[in-house]
Amino acid sequence: MKLNSIQIKIMSLIIFIFIVIILVALYITVNTQKNNLISATQKTLSINTEILNHVIRNIMLNGEAPIAVNTMSSLREIEDFKEISIFRVDGTNAFNDYKTIDQVNNFQNKVMFVQTPRVEKNILKNINFQKVLDSKTPVTVELTDKQEMEYFFPILNYTECRACHGDSDFVRGVAHFNVSIKGIYKQIDQARTLMTLFFIIIGVVFAIILIYFMRSMIIKPILIIGDTVKEVGNGNFEVKVVIKNKDELGDLSNKINDMIRGVKERFKLSKYISKSTEDLIKKDHGYDSEGIKKQITVLFADIRGFTAYSSTRTPSEVVKNLNTILQVEADVVEEFGGDIDKFVGDELMATFEDELTAVRCSTEIIKKVIEINKNNNTELFVGIGINSGEVIAAHIGSKNRTEFAVIGDAVNFASRLCSIAKQNMILLSENVNNNLKNKIETIEVSDQKIKGIAEPVSIYILKSIK
């Protein structure tokens, strides 16, 4: 199968389309699943933050700061929790000093909370921290490169909190979560692998089915049509397109079959016209083209005694032997570059561009016919006449039927020479003899009266070619 064949192109296109579909489907499916998992994680973080907010608030309302610190420390030990902290509005972590306790005690004018152990001081420098303070709404950030998620949640100064902290600040701090989502990415990878396998299997199955139907319904008929046209191009006009399609390909096959029949008919008809006529048809010369004068050599070859021969033979034998000789004559003429002008009964007329080629062709014809007689045990011989001169070449006939022919005295004289030539004899006109006198040997026969010519003329029997 050629790499540039239509089968390869169509199958490649189908495979490419399925690959694109699979990739798009995978992208949409995996991203949808990923977004759903991320959304679920965000919702979980939001709920956890609300819970933590309530827990810490209740603990702090009871003045149990150490319990709040221990609670957050315990939460950090939960799997996937990378960080959980509470930060003041200035960015420092809560419970790192006694500033808040002192503010509350001063605000109450009494010692409500005693000093307890503090945690190490940290300062949060994060642009999202400031966004929460400005917007007073939660902010969620996905750290794709680390496969982590950060969640910032504002801790508001509720009514019950204002009893200790006053109402000067609406936002008391920000809760910060950092959660690993590697598990989510692992689920996504697993889902991607499973979905890839699923879509590949489904894609391969559909591709095979589609390729099968494409091949049977489109590619195979096209290949059949192509093979048939190739056969016609090689000269086989007996073939025809045989497909069962009732669609456009079926219509095309019917039209191609009609075309083959037409070509076959025209090919048969081409056997009945000369090569010059065929060339003029190819050049699209019209019927009204004017005749032209030209110098050519005309050869006539006629079977001697054919009338008597045919009267004692069956029609099939006569036609068979006649066609055998005429075929050999035609082959020799074509071999020497001549143009078969016409067949008239058992006579052949051909034209050549020069005398010497015509003479050589005539000797080969005599030789081939003698071989046929030996091989087929027949006694059919030919006589040949050759003349050269000026003729008129033109379309001869009516508008409905015409042929391209050469006419003139030179043609008529060659025909007369052929009619008086004996078997295996080649008669030449004086023109031919004079033009080839240094290349051939002839025997002159003078004072010959030829029909259609007033004065006696000399004709020449070809003896040999030098």
Domain ranges within the chain, ordered by starting residue:
6-187, 284-465
Angle (nearest 5°) at CA 416 between 411 and 417: 100
pLDDT at residue 386, rounded to an integer = 96
Stated pTM of the model: 0.48
pLDDT at residue 366, rounded to an integer = 94
224-233 long-range contacts, CB within 8 A, separation 24+: 224/253, 225/249, 225/252, 225/253, 225/256, 228/256, 228/260, 229/256, 232/260, 232/263
What type of residue is 125? K
pLDDT at residue 79, rounded to an integer = 72
Q: Which CATH number fits domain 284-465: 3.60.21.10, 3.30.70.1230, 3.30.565.10, 3.30.1330.40?
A: 3.30.70.1230
pLDDT at residue 286, rounded to an integer = 47
For CA atoms 346, 282, 406, 423, give the dihedral sign.
Answer: negative
Contacts of 7 (CB under 8 A, 6+ apart): 1, 215, 219, 223
What is the mean pLDDT of each successive set of 10 residues along the chain, which is 466 residues long? 63 80 81 78 72 68 63 70 81 74 67 66 82 87 84 76 66 82 79 81 81 77 81 81 78 83 70 56 53 90 86 87 90 92 88 94 94 87 94 78 80 93 93 92 89 86 90
**String of DSSP letters for 14-65:** HHHHHHHHHHHHHHHHHHHHHHHHHHHHHHHHHHHHHHHHHHHHHHHHTT-H
pLDDT at residue 176, rounded to an integer = 84
- Give the C-alpha separation, 286 to 2, whole Å: 44
Strands (E), 144-180: 148-156, 171-180
Helices marked H in 271-345 — which ranges?
275-282, 306-311, 315-335
pLDDT at residue 459, rounded to an integer = 92
What is the arrangement of strands in the sheet containing 81-88, beginning at the earlier edge strand?
Answer: 81-88, 171-180, 148-156, 139-143
Could you tell me whether strands 292-304 and 440-448 are parallel, antiparallel, or unpaired per DSSP bridges? unpaired
CATH of domain 6-187: 3.30.450.20
Strands (E), 157-243: 171-180
Structure-token pair, residue 341: 């002008």
What type of residue is 227? D
Structure-token pair, residue 41: 């994680």
